[in-house]
Chains A and B, each alone.
Chain A
Amino acid sequence: MTEHPSGDLCLEQLSKKFESFTAVNSLDLTIPEGSFFALLGPSGCGKTTTLRMIAGLEDPTSGTIRIGDVDITHVKAHRRNVNTVFQSYALFPHMKILDNVAFGLKRRGDKDAMRKAQEALDLVELGHTAKKKPNQLSGGMQQRVALARAIVNRPNVLLLDEPLGALDLKLRRQMQIELKRIQSEVGITFVHVTHDQEEAMTMADTVAVMNAGNLEQVGPPADLYDHPASTFVANFLGQSNLLTSRVTGLGGDGLATADCHGHEIQVAAEHIPTGVRDVFVGVRPEKLRLDRSGRNHLDGTVTDASFAGVATQYLVRLPWGHEVTVVQPNDGSPRARVGESVDVSWEPGSEFVLDASQDQDAGMFDTGLRDA
């Protein structure tokens, strides 16, 4: 290690082509030092390739990778101050847990490797497993050892490649909290690759959504959820009801009117992309209500109701045949039955508006498959 660059991790015009297939297409990203950053996207979107390029395990076809002012694009993997927690953990099966954790420190000639490794093991609460072999540990424990093995080196950037993918749901929740705790404790930049939108949103300060090698949108989870920039993001992050509409004019109070299949609805003018008239008005299921309390309302028929404890999810068919999803908290108000005629209403401003020239179902099919 000749230099220990620190600072923001910057990817500039980063591309990776495998023969004719473009895995990553001219990616521009700045990941602030010390942040918890998530790269989110469906499988094959290029997020893992991006991660491997940062780790130095894959050579970019073009573009640069910098940490602070230091260009590390062509620095060999073993000379980068970047460590990875692999999806498969990749713990060395012939070494004891402590030797696994001390591996990186020893390669750099750290005299204090064993003590530091023991401390890192204690940090992930596995100090007692030091003398065991990886195959004697459960998946969740191996996962934490892999994490200890990476953070013990105090890298500038820690890369996590779907690190929780192999764990069951309960353990995954635990590890999500654990990871966040450790990140705030060590203050290292975490770049977390995942296809699980919930995981990305609960853990990361900033989420970058990738699709087919391209960056769709970057921002804090709440911004992405409330104001998706594309139908892909709208459908991939949570559920969205996209109503095909046409902007008809500007009203007062910063509101605009739109025609939605013959029904007049109001939307916040600032939400409308400039110069666009054919739009999708997007409303999240929990922002729709089954009454007339919102200023925008449509009538419909309940076609499905599924009770999920904290809330009930309804499918409501609108007069023109389109079905919307409505999520109502089970707060004691009467529940609608299948076949019942209902009002669907929402407040102007709680929507997002997207250019209707995009594919309405982008990002949806993949989500469906994953949940199945």
Chain B
Amino acid sequence: MKIYPMSTNIICSNLLNNSKDQIIRLGNCKKGWSGIVSNLTFIEGLNIDWYEFEERLLEMGFIENAEVKILYEGLIKHDPIAVLVNETIVAIRRSDALTIIVRPL
């Protein structure tokens, strides 16, 4: 599994300037974005043991190569988001979805 170096400031994804080596995090993507999960990574500030959170993400279907699409978002700060993961719709907060590294289709 590739592990990307982490900075305390989560990189704001720039969807227009989407070069290959830029990391896109699902939590930064706009409504309607669709793509594929590359991997799951640890970030600071999760109020849960990372291993357990990864386990729960996996159980909900966030696994490498799963197809994801952001279907809906909340009113305040576009948070949380409802993501179509393969055939399942999963609600997740943007801050938690920063752990999910994705790439466009």
A binds B: no
Interface residues of B (CB under 8 A from A): none
Interface residues of A (CB under 8 A from B): none
